[in-house]
Structure 1
Amino acid sequence: MAETALRSTTGTTAAATGGGAGPTIHRLTGTHCPAPRRVPPRRPGPAHRPAPPRPPRHPRAACDSSGLAPRFALRLVEVLAGLRPVGQLARHTTHDGYRQLARLASDGPLRRADRTTRPRLAQVHECAPGPGVLEVCVRVETGERHRVVAFRLERHWRTEQWQCAAVEAR
């Protein structure tokens, strides 16, 4: 008669024969297997993810709705009137544009001796002669006199930001 070894609950092996004394033998079946341990899915912790890139500003869309040219024109007129320092527009101008702006600001074409009335933008005319270029002409009211300020905005090739490349005031 063939004897088969089975594992008991106590960890000993016994011969499965027709009878005999010894430890109780339990046959292992699939129903006695413990349930598989469920591992919760790993949740990503606070990883260092780079911020999604911002879409570049586009002045053509801004001119129609939010008014990029009038906002820049107001700051430019405030610099020419002496109400704002020239350095505040340094990062928004090219090197040539900044030199022109600094020269115009020192001459003070919009400065008034009394400084009681602030210059006011009357009309803003915009023209886009090509892609990435915006030319603007602004009529400025300074009390009884009217002046004209013209400037050119160009899109920087690498940063996609708009910079003032040329300024003229009369």
Structure 2
Amino acid sequence: MTAADRPLAGPPRRFRPLRETVVPIRVPVPLASTQGTLALDLEPRHDPPAAASPAGRAAGDVVPIDRRWRGDVEQWSHRFAQAAVEIVGGDRPVSQLLRWTTSAVYADLERRARLVAQAGGHGAAQGRVQPVRPKVLSVRTCFLDRGVVESGIHVRYGERSRALAARFELRAPRREEAPRWICTALDWS
């Protein structure tokens, strides 16, 4: 009888399952809540703006602002910021914010979207599915004038946070158009 024909002596060896011996290349990332559709509605409202009340100011405001006007501007700032972080993340084309940005802010958004796409190995604005979607959590505004506001924006990326600072100015480019907010500065930190 050769060594190959002999039965193995002792109890059978137990092998660890394959999953315990394989080291994962990527750590699984939890998915954040979905933002819903990517519709973008930054058109100005057609109801008349509320008049500024002479009553007190919010902390940081230079001029007194009506509560309704503040709420409308904060909502608009929130929608703008959400669109901006989705552009940089590759979910939206940068052209969606063309009417609401200056050329310098537009160029910066375009550059950031391109750099993130190159780093991630995908094309910019292709509507890719991100493992973690950015979500704007809060917007705080400071009115320097009725038509000039600066916003501090808190953005959440999964477990990480980021801050944005934006400056918006109310402008009427042509006679027939209603005034609209334009982002004149957008700083990422």
TM-score bracket, normalised by the shorter chain, equals: 0.5 to 0.7
Identity of aligned residues (%): 32
1:91 aligns with 2:106: no
Q: Distance in 1 between matches of 2:187 and 2:160?
A: 17
For the residue of structure 2 that corresponds to 1:102, the secondary structure is helix
Match of 1:147 in 2: 162
- Structure 1: how far apart are the matches of 2:98 and 2:168? 14
Q: Is the 8 A contact 2:78 2:138 kept in 1?
A: no
Q: Name which structure has the greater RCO, CA cutoff 8 Å, separation 6+.
A: 2
AA of the residue aligned to 2:83:
R
Aligned to 1:101: 109
Q: Aligned partners of 1:64 and 1:131: how far apart in 2?
A: 13
Aligned to 2:79: 71
Q: 1:135 to 1:108 in 2, by over 3 A?
A: farther
Query: In the alignment, what sits opposite 2:151?
Result: 136
Higher strand share: 1
Match of 1:93, as an amino acid? T
Unaligned runs of 5+ in 1: 1-53
* Greater shift in the superposed pair: 116-125 or 95-104: 95-104
Q: Deviations for 1:86-120, whole angstroms, at most 9, x for unmatched residues?
A: 011111111222122222322339x9788222111
Find the counterpart in structure 2 of residue 166 from structure 1: 185
> Which residue identity lines up with residue 79 of structure 1 in the other structure?
I
Q: For residue 168 of structure 1, what is the amino acid of its counterpart? A: D
The alignment's TM-score, normalised by the length of structure 2, stands at 0.51
Structure 2 unpaired stretches of 5+: 1-45, 51-64, 122-128
Q: Distance in 2 between matches of 1:68 and 1:93?
A: 13
RMSD: 3.1
